[in-house]
Amino acid sequence: MRGVQEQLEIIKKNTVDLISEEELIKKLESSLKKNRPLKVKIGFDPTAKDLHLGHMVLLRKLRAIQDLGHIVYFIIGDFTAQIGDPSGRIETRPLLTKEEILENAKTYTQQAFKILDKKKTKIIFNSKWYKDMKISDFFSLLKRYTVSRLLERDDFTKRLREKKPLSMLEFVYPLIQAYDSVKIEADIEFGGTDQKFNLIVGRHLQESFGQSPQVIITLPLLIGLDGKNKMSKSLGNYIGITEPPKEIFGKLMSISDELMLEYFRLLTDFNLEEIKKMHPKEAKLLLAQSLVKELYNEEIAIREREEFERVFSKRELPSEIPVYHTKDEIIDIIEILYKTQIVPTKNEARRLLKQKAITIQDKVLEERKLKVSGELTLKIGKRKFLKIKKV
């Protein structure tokens, strides 16, 4: 295990909040002295099926800490997800069923292990300690925290001020989430900056149970593809870590130059000053290739880079294009794009057609009805292609 100062430097890189550095140093010193790895907590509520690059910021930091010899406790909030984290929200989340939550959680660990070291990760579902909790035990938990402390939370006071609903479930959510830290006796907990309040509650609750309070560390929220809001599946501005490598590569090539530098800082170990000296296009190609390599492998990453450059720099057709066979002479492009899952919805297909984003050999398609006599190759948007063959 590396020395305290070296570990501290690695842990502090790109962090926003560290409460507190003095406590972290003491924990690291104790860890070295007793040869005991620290318990590092991260929690994810499975409110959606996919993890995205925003989660990857945290996962890469945790992997670096695993490489220092510490153990990550990956808490899957199958119980807390039934409430839904109110952090940063102005409205009450819709309640998920147990079946929906378990379905979402199925692939969480598989996705996380694209980054984390499986041997140094403990997966725990937090229903483990809540499913058998008696109501009297829950009362005992609630009495350990005050209403005034919970009202210190900005998004709670904002919703109350604006007379927007705030359910009792949401109100006690930070306390319920914080109890996870007590149960595993966490030494450190990581989260995005929007989780700071919840993490602090974890410290307070541990102290009330006579435990040493966890050090809390927050990391920046990754801005999504829109360049404005944090990456979020609900906003549609995300890159899922299990998306096809072609999609990941293409989406990364679409981001702005300014956002590219932030992605380099938070998602790679490249020297930022060296990246700034590169031509933006070459730098973006390097970013896309490195992230596809990390999520898949080097061979796939090289292949996707070569394919991207062939299609978008040399303006050649992709080597592999999906084919739709039809017996009809007149086809409905809207229906076919949806049927082949080139687009997720018919409205998206209509939008692309209206915006003149569907072309045949660089000729803009104006109408949704199209006559087919042999073989046609459509370009849909910037990165998608479809061959239509008459049989």
How, if at all, do strands 384-390 and 188-192 pair? unpaired
Report the alpha-carbon distance of residue 253 to residue 276 in Å, rounded.
Answer: 16
How many CA atoms, within 13 angstroms, populate the side-chain half-sphere of residue 8? 15
pLDDT per residue over 184-198, tens digit each?
Answer: 999 999 999 999 999
What residues contact residue 65 under an 8 Å CB cut-off, 6+ apart?
Answer: 10, 11, 40, 72, 188
The tokens of 193 are what? 């900056």
> Is the pLDDT at 90 greater than 60, yes or no?
no
What is the rounded (10 degree) CA torsion for 84, 85, 89, 94? Answer: 0
Tokens coding 387: 């061959």
For residue 89, the model assigns a pLDDT of 47
CA-to-CA separations, 39 to 72, 178, 186, in angstroms, rounded: 6, 15, 5
The pLDDT value recorded for residue 92 is 47
For 64-103, the DSSP string reads HHHTTT-EEEEEE-TTGGGT---TT-SSPPPPPPHHHHHH
The secondary structure element, H or E, covering residue 190 is strand 188-192
Confidence (pLDDT) at 176? 87
How much is the pTM?
0.79
> DSSP code of 12?
H
Instruction: Summarize pLDDT for 248-270 with one digit per residue, the tens.
Output: 999 999 999 999 999 999 999 99
pLDDT in tens, 336-370: 999 898 888 888 889 988 898 898 877 888 888 88
Domains and CATH numbers, the chain: 4-219 (3.40.50.620), 245-313 (no CATH), 323-390 (3.10.290.10)
Residue 87 pLDDT > 60: no
In the block, tokens 């880079």 appear at 305
